């Protein structure tokens, strides 16, 4: 049986946008460690015993193996209290033993001082048994950038993207986001991260602003804006970073949707409403938005999807005033009797600004099929011209993204009827016509993917999944001539649960 078209969390977002029809996206050392504190002298400890009279209490040590460390300043911590400095690769043992049944969370208290060196923990928690713990691993690597993930559990997670491999290395303590975070975007240059938190019928939502440390990836909350009159659900940043466009349900009306433009302060990240907000009734409420790479046009896809009956759908180009951010409606594509029984539609724009891709679901809700329709973008007016009749794909096109070179389009299938229906498909983009064609076989994603993103180097693709033990899947983009553009799985990580959005800073 196929899962519902959207999770309860996603359904909440949809209700904000359209209000549902019912209402008419070195060597180790430690200050207290044995020997001289070097990794060589801090060997794995033995069981120790203590106690008086007839009773003896057995304790066991926790050791970690450190690999890949090049910088200075790494400090590990056990149970939030025992600190252990590490100077080089090797085995490190925390000085005080723990009794059977005690928990042993091992964390990185302080990352190395070297720029963009991140150390992550594997097998870093559990319960003490009847033996010393020796399988904790600390893997250090230099990273090219940082990836951030928000989840259904209302947490914001941080990862370093390993240089060369792109493998995400988790670091830091997850941050609490507030209830129901839905969207995550970064400012150009990676100085700030924006996260929206809608509150539904509890009141207007908010947008949280975090400063990104370019050396460590650590996030620092710098401001929070209450989105007066709006429950935000979708966001997109203009490529120049001057404006943030936020789409959501208007508060307190809770009917239809609204689009608000915020001016972005490049120095502080602060947001200021600008221009006049756009409002839409239930029948025309947008469900997707995308902005051109030159920042000249914002596209809104509007209409009632998932209604099960034919309905009018529009795709409108809005010109963006470069000074004020004011939006002016321009050319419109209209479908009078769009078949909404197969779900909604998704959009993606190629980074070179030549083509817009619209994926329309086909068939019924239990069958993975869609058509990817390319449109040529008029750079002067924003008008869209259809290119051919589209490419059918074995996917419901739940999400799409184009790689930074504009050569490949990646399409997610999250039908979830079985493992083979949770996939990502690579499509080649003809550089002259914009027509797409499948590349190789779909790759399974080990769970339905809610979101997909490429790194800015064009070497890796990341998917946020749900209903799995690891909610972040990574893929390398093949560069061999015979298989260029196809995806190669490179691992999974992240917490269990549902990913709502991903963002990358490089």
The string of pLDDT tens digits covering residues 94-109 is 999 999 999 999 999 9
Q: What is the CATH number of domain 59-141?
A: 2.60.40
**391-393 and 399-402 strand pairing:** unpaired
Least confident range from 131-135, 177-181, 371-375, 484-488: namely 177-181
Instruction: Write the DSSP symbol of residue 122.
Output: E
Judge whether residue 448 has pLDDT over 90: no
| pLDDT score for 497 | 81
Q: What does pLDDT average to over the chain?
A: 84
Question: Mind giving me the DSSP string for 181-224?
Answer: ---EEE-TTSSEEEEEE--GGG---EEEEEEE-TTT--EEEEEE
CB 100 within 8 A of CB 58: yes
Please check the confidence at residue 443 and state whether its pLDDT lies above 50. Answer: yes
pLDDT band of residue 28 (cuts 50, 70, 90) is very low
**Of all residues in the chain, what percent carry a pLDDT higher than 70?**
83
What is the rounded CA–CA span in Å between residue 188 and residue 351? Answer: 14
- What pLDDT is recorded for position 159? 95
**Numbered ranges of CATH 2.60.40 in the chain:** 59-141
Q: Specify the pairing of strand 436-444 against strand 422-429.
A: antiparallel
Angle 397-403-405 (CA atoms, 0-180°, nearest 5)? 145
Confidence at residue 254, expressed as pLDDT on a 0 to 100 scale: 61
Q: What is the mean pLDDT of residues 421-430?
A: 93
For residue 10, give the H/E element and its range: helix 8-18
| Alpha-carbon torsion, ordered 348, 351, 352, 355, to 10 deg | 0
CA gap 92, 33 in Å, rounded: 9
pLDDT at 343: 55
Question: For the chain, what's the residue count?
Answer: 506
Per-residue pLDDT reduced to its tens digit, 329-354: 999 988 766 665 555 678 999 999 99
Amino acid 359: pLDDT: 87
Model pLDDT, residue 37: 38
For the entire predicted model, the pTM comes to: 0.85
Residue 2 is predicted with a pLDDT of 39
Say which residue, 187 or 2, is predicted with more confidence.
187
Which of 269-278, 280-289, 318-327, 408-417 ranks highest by mean pLDDT? 318-327
Extended strands (E) in 345-496: 345-349, 355-361, 370-377, 384-386, 391-393, 399-402, 408-414, 422-429, 436-444, 449-454, 460-465, 472-477, 487-493
In DSSP notation, 437-451 reads EEEEEEEE-SS-EEE
pLDDT for the residue 14: 39
Between CA 159 and CA 168 the distance in angstroms is: 5
Coil, helix or strand at residue 65? strand
Neighbours of 164 (CB within 10 A): 10
Q: Which pLDDT does position 64 carry in this prediction?
A: 96
What pairing do the DSSP bridges indicate for beta strands 271-280 and 286-291? unpaired
> Which pLDDT score, from 0 to 100, does residue 421 have?
79
- DSSP string computed for 304-333: --SSSS-EEEEEEEEEEPTTT--EEEEEEE
- pLDDT tens digits, one per residue of 127-147: 999 999 999 999 999 999 999
Residue scoring higher pLDDT (364 or 269): 269
Q: How confident is the model at residue 398 (pLDDT cuts 50, 70, 90)?
A: confident
The Cα 363–Cα 101 span in angstroms is: 55
| 250: three-class secondary structure by DSSP | strand
Q: What sign for the dihedral angle of Cα 201, 219, 184, 165?
A: negative
Identify the H or E element spanning 8: helix 8-18
Q: For 451-472, how does the pLDDT look when each residue is reduced to its tens digit (9 = 90+)?
A: 999 999 999 999 998 867 788 9
DSSP string for 12-39: HHHHHHH-TGGG-------TT-STTS-T
Reply yes or no on whether the pLDDT at 73 is more than 70. yes
Given a cut of 50, whether residue 38 has pLDDT beyond it is no
Q: Which pair of structure tokens corresponds to residue 386?
A: 């259809």
Average pLDDT rounded to a whole number, residues 19-34 = 34
Cis peptide before 344 (omega within 30 of 0): no
State CA 283 to chain mean position distance.
30
Average pLDDT (235-247) is 94
pLDDT tens for each residue of 355-385: 999 987 766 556 678 889 999 999 999 999 9
Q: What is the pLDDT of residue 52?
A: 42
Q: Express each pLDDT in 182-240 by its tens digit.
A: 999 999 999 999 999 887 666 788 999 999 999 999 999 999 998 877 888 899 999 99
Q: Sort strands 106-110 and 98-99 into parallel, antiparallel or unpaired.
A: unpaired
**CATH 2.130.10.10 segments of the chain:** 345-506
**Which residue is associated with the tokens 């990104």?**
212
pLDDT number for residue 365: 59
Answer with the residue of higher pLDDT: 361 or 23: 361
Give the three-class secondary structure for 419.
helix
pLDDT recorded at residue 183: 93
Evaluate whether the domain defined by 345-506 bears CATH number 3.90.1150.10. Answer: no
């Amino acid at each position: 049986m196929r899962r519902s078209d959207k999770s309860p969390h996603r359904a909440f977002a949809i209700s904000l946008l359209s209000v549902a029809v019912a209402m008419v996206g070195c060597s180790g050392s430690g200050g207290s460690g044995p020997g001289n504190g070097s990794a060589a002298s801090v060997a794995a400890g033995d069981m120790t015993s203590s106690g008086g009279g007839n009773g003896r209490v057995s304790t066991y040590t926790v050791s970690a193996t450190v690999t890949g460390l090049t910088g200075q300043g790494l400090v590990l911590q056990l149970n939030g209290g025992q600190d252990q400095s590490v100077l080089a690769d090797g085995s490190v043992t925390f000085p005080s033993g723990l009794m059977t049944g005690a928990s042993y969370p091992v964390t990185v208290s302080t990352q190395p001082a070297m720029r963009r060196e991140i150390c992550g923990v594997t097998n870093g928690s559990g319960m003490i048994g009847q033996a010393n713990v020796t399988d904790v691993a600390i893997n250090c690597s230099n990273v090219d950038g940082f990836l951030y993930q928000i989840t259904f559990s209302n947490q914001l997670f941080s990862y370093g993207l390993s240089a060369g491999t792109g493998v995400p290395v988790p670091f830091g303590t997850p941050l609490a986001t507030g209830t129901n975070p839905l969207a995550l975007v970064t400012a150009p240059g990676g100085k700030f991260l924006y996260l929206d938190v809608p509150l539904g019928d509890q009141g207007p939502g908010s947008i949280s602003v975090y400063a990104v440390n370019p050396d460590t990836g650590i996030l620092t909350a710098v401001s929070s804006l209450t989105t007066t009159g709006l429950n935000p659900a979708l966001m997109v940043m203009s490529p120049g970073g001057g404006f943030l466009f936020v789409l959501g349900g208007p508060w307190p009306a809770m009917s239809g949707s609204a689009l608000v433009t915020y001016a972005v302060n490049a120095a502080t990240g602060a947001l200021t409403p600008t221009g006049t907000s756009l409002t839409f009734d239930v029948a025309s409420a947008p469900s997707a938005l995308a902005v051109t790479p030159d920042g000249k046009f914002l596209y809104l896809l509007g209409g009632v999807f998932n209604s099960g009956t034919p309905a009018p759908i529009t795709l409108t180009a809005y010109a963006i005033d470069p000074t004020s951010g004011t939006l002016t409606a321009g050319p419109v594509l209209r479908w009078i009797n769009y078949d909404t029984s197969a779900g909604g539609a998704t959009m993606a724009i190629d980074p070179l600004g030549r083509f817009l891709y619209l994926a329309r679901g086909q068939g019924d809700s239990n069958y993975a099929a869609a058509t990817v329709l390319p449109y040529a973008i008029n750079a002067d007016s924003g008008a869209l011209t259809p290119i051919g009749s589209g490419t059918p794909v074995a996917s419901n096109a739940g999400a799409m993204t184009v790689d930074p070179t504009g050569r490949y389009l990646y399409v997610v299938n999250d039908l979830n009827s079985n493992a083979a229906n949770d996939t990502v498909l690579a499509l080649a983009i003809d550089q002259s016509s914009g027509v797409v064609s499948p590349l190789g076989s779909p790759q399974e994603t080990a769970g339905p993917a809610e979101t997909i993103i490429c790194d800015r180097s064009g070497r890796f693709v990341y998917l946020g999944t749900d209903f799995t033990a690891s909610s972040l899947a990574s893929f390398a983009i093949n560069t061999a001539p015979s298989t260029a553009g196809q995806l190669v799985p490179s691992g999974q990580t992240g917490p269990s649960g549902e990913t709502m959005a991903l963002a990358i800073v490089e």
